[in-house]
Amino acid sequence: MAARQSGLGAALMPSHNGDGQEVHLARRLSDEFPASIRAEAQVVIQRQSIRRISSGELHDRPTLDLPVADAPTSAEAGQMAQAASVMQDAASYLTTPPAKVPEPHTLRVEQLVKILRTAVSDGNRCHEGCAGLDNMEVGRRLEAHGLNKLSPPKTPNKWVKLIKLTFGGILNMLLWFCVLAEVILCMWMKSEAPVTPLILSVVIIGTATLQWITELKAESSMEELRAMQVGEKVRVARIKPAFEGVATSQIVGIDSEGLVAGDVIFLTAGDKIPCDVRIIHCTDGTEVDNSALTGESLPEVREAEAESATLSLMEARNMAFFGTTLLKGSCTAIVVATGDRTFLGEVAASMQGPRPKSSLEIEIAHFIHLVACLAIGVGALVLVANLLSNTHREAQVVLENCATALFTQVPEGLLPTVTFSLMAASGEMFKRSVMVKKLDAIETLGCVRTFCSDKTGTLTTGSMTLMEVAVPKSDSNELEVLPLSEASSNGEAMNLCRAGALNNAAMHIDGTGLVGSPTEMAIFSGAASLLGGNSKIKDLRAKFNTVFEIPFNSENKWMLTLHPNEQEGAFACILKGATERILPHCTMDEAQKEEVYKALQRLMKQGHRVLCVAQRLVLPEEVPAGTAFAGSHFEDCNFPIDGLTFLGLFGIEDPPRPGVKEAVAKAEVAGIKVVMVTGDHPGTAQAIAYRLGITTSPTKNGDPESQELTVLEGSQLEMMVPPDGDFSVPLLDPEISRFWNTATSNTRVFARVSPLHKQIIVKAYQRSGYFCAMTGDGVNDAPALKQADVGIAMGVRGTDVAKDASDLVLLDDQFSSAMAGVEMGRLAAVNLQKSIMYTLCSKVPQVAPAFIELLGIPEALAAEHILLIDIGTDIWTAVAYAMQPAESSLMEKQPRHPRDEKLVNYRVFLYSYCYIGVLQTIFCWIMYFVATPDIHGLIQRHHALKAEDKMSPEDFQIQTHSMTVYYWTLVLGQVAAAICTTTTVQPVFGPGGYGLPNKMLNITLVLEITFSLVAMYTEFFQKTFRFASLPAYSIFLPVVALVSIVALEEARKRRAWCRCVG
Strands 450-453 and 673-677, bridge-based pairing: parallel
Contact (CB, 8 A) for 410 and 871: no
* Helix (H), strand (E) at residue 336: strand 330-337
Q: Give CA–CA dist 491/497, Å, rounded.
A: 10
What is the crossing angle of helices 953-980 and 917-930, to 10°? 150
Question: How many residues in total does the chain contain?
Answer: 1062
Nearest by Cα to 79 from 29, 22, 21: 29
Nearest by Cα to 564 from 629, 518, 614, 609: 629
Contact (CB, 8 A) for 91 and 62: yes
What lies within 8 Å, CB to CB, of 830 at 6+ separation is 884, 886, 887, 890, 984
Of 263, 289, 440, 454, the catalytic one is: 454
Contact (CB, 8 A) for 673 and 750: no
Residue 582 in 3-state DSSP?
helix
Residue 454 among the catalytic residues: yes
Alpha-carbon distances of 283 from 330, 331, 376, 636, 985, rounded to whole Å: 6, 6, 78, 20, 68
The torsion angles phi and psi of 983, rounded to 5 degrees, stand at -130, 165
User: 721 burial class (0-12, 13-18, 19+ CB within 10 angstroms)?
Assistant: middle
What is the number of other CB atoms lying within 10 angstroms of the CB of residue 987?
21
Q: Give CA–CA dist 349/187, Å, rounded.
A: 52
Alpha-carbon distances of 216 from 169, 487, 492, 641, 799, rounded to whole Å: 19, 52, 59, 65, 21
Alpha-carbon distances of 317 from 106, 322, 494, 567, 1040, rounded to whole Å: 11, 15, 37, 42, 81
Q: What is the DSSP letter of 309?
A: T
Nearest by Cα to 797 from 814, 785, 816: 814
Alpha-carbon distances of 163 from 157, 209, 444, rounded to whole Å: 10, 9, 24
Alpha-carbon distances of 164 from 170, 173, 185, 414, rounded to whole Å: 11, 11, 27, 18
Residue 513 in 3-state DSSP?
strand
At residue 659's C-alpha, the angle toward residues 658 and 664, to 5°, is: 130
Q: Catalytic site residues? A: 454
